[in-house]
């Protein structure tokens, strides 16, 4: 299968995550490591003059890096109880901006509108769990910084095998790789083998998809591996992982085609990797498995 999108017909299940949580307390994307009782490694950095010199002049003069992001997609980007956008992507991008001598300004946006906003110049870049793929590389350049795959999750105590899921109902967030690639391909294979298709249940947010699983409204969900792992952790025993991680691919920061910002971001990411600060941030969110050795600029 070819990875074409990080995220996502409104679902037939019109249950909102907020209402479900009020009833069950099952999955919540308003908690971070600061609420878990686990020690948090703070990362606050000074400007690196060599990296700052790579920043395009118009951005350097503003002193602000405008970044599009699309919560909720915990633990990468979501809102805490105070309504602030937090998460792994937010912490990494804040640290990278500090090295570049800039203040990171995160703008909440529909996921599918972030790349057009970068192309149009109203945003400098995106930090929102973008999987790098050929389709996106036709319109933006990317700087890779992490690696993730797909992993399924189901209600605790259920026996779900992603490789034998014909006839099951599977929740996905709209426009994700799970929505557009993983579940449709598996369902087509079921039909080709004479078995019933997979019922794909689409949700506008990952919160809603995770909550549907925890409440037993669907048999399973398909999502990026960090998201499934975090949902299971936050479910207080109501969910479990199903099967292994598969189809690993890099996450990247999208920037305008040919933008010099890519070189600055690559240098900042490599510096964070070299100093161990990237690992500290990943450990805060339990995402060490996705660390990479070097950032890379990808162009179509």
DSSP type of residue 284:
H
Query: Other CB atoms closer than 10 Å to residue 269's CB: what's the count?
Result: 26
Q: Which has the higher per-residue pLDDT, 98 or 22? A: 98
Q: Are 228 and 151 in contact (CB under 8 A)?
A: yes
Q: What is the DSSP pairing of strand 296-298 with strand 140-155? A: antiparallel
Q: Are 184 and 245 in contact (CB under 8 A)?
A: no
Q: Are 114 and 254 in contact (CB under 8 A)?
A: yes
Using pLDDT thresholds of 50, 70 and 90, give the confidence band for residue 39: low
d(CA 178, CA 173): 8
Q: Are 104 and 55 in contact (CB under 8 A)?
A: no
Report DSSP letters for 5-37, one per residue.
-EE----S----HHHHHHHH----SS--GGGTT
Phi, psi angles (nearest 5°) of residue 146: -160, 165
Q: Are 156 and 238 in contact (CB under 8 A)?
A: yes
DSSP type of residue 168:
-
Instruction: State residue 242's pLDDT score.
Output: 97
Tokens 């369902």 sit at which residue?
A: 187
Q: Quick one: which of 200, 198, 201 has its CA closest to 11?
A: 201
Q: Is-above-0.75 flag for pTM?
A: yes
d(CA 151, CA 213): 14
Q: What is the mean pLDDT of residues 100-115?
A: 96
Residue count (the chain): 300
DSSP E strand stretches across 93-238: 103-108, 125-126, 130-131, 140-155, 169-173, 176, 199-203, 220-224
Using pLDDT thresholds of 50, 70 and 90, give the confidence band for residue 265: very high
Q: Is 64 helix (H, G, I), strand (E, B) or coil?
A: strand
| Average confidence score pLDDT of the chain | 88
147's CB contacts (< 8 A; 6+ apart) are: 248, 249, 250, 251, 290, 291, 292
* 54-66 tens-digit pLDDT: 999 999 999 999 9
* 212-258 tens-digit pLDDT: 999 999 999 999 999 999 999 889 999 999 999 999 999 999 999 99
Six token digits for residue 124: 């400098």
**What is the percent of the chain with per-residue pLDDT over 70, rounded to a whole number?**
87
């Amino acid at each position: 299968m070819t990875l074409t999108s990080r995220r996502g017909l409104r679902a037939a299940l019109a249950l909102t995550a907020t209402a479900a949580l009020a009833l069950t307390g099952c999955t919540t994307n308003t908690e971070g490591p600061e609420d878990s009782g686990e020690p948090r490694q703070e990362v606050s950095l000074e400007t690196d003059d060599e990296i700052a010199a790579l920043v395009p002049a118009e951005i350097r003069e503003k002193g602000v890096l405008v970044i599009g992001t699309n919560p909720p997609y915990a633990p990468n980007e979501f809102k805490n109880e105070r309504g602030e956008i937090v998460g792994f992507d937010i912490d990494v991008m804040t640290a990278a901006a500090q090295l570049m001598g800039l203040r990171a300004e995160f703008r909440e946006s529909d996921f599918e509108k972030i790349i057009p906003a970068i192309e149009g110049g109203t945003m400098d870049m995106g930090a929102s769990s973008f999987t790098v793929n050929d389709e996106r590389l036709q319109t933006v350049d990317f700087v890779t910084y992490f690696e993730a795959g797909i992993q399924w999750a189901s209600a605790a105590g259920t026996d779900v095998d992603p490789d034998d899921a014909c006839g099951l109902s599977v929740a996905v967030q709209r426009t994700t790789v799970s929505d557009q690639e993983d579940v449709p391909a598996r369902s087509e294979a079921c039909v080709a083998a004479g078995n019933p298709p997979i019922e794909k249940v689409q949700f506008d947010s990952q919160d809603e998809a995770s909550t549907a699983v925890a409440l037993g409204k669907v048999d399973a969900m398909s999502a990026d591996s960090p998201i499934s792992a975090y949902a299971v952790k936050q479910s207080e025993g109501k969910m479990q992982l199903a099967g292994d991680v598969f189809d690993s691919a890099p996450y990247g920061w999208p920037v305008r085609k040919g933008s010099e910002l890519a070189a600055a971001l690559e240098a900042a990411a490599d510096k964070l990797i070299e100093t161990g600060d990237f690992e500290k941030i990943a450990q805060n969110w339990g995402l060490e498995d996705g660390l990479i050795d070097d950032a890379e600029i990808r162009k179509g």
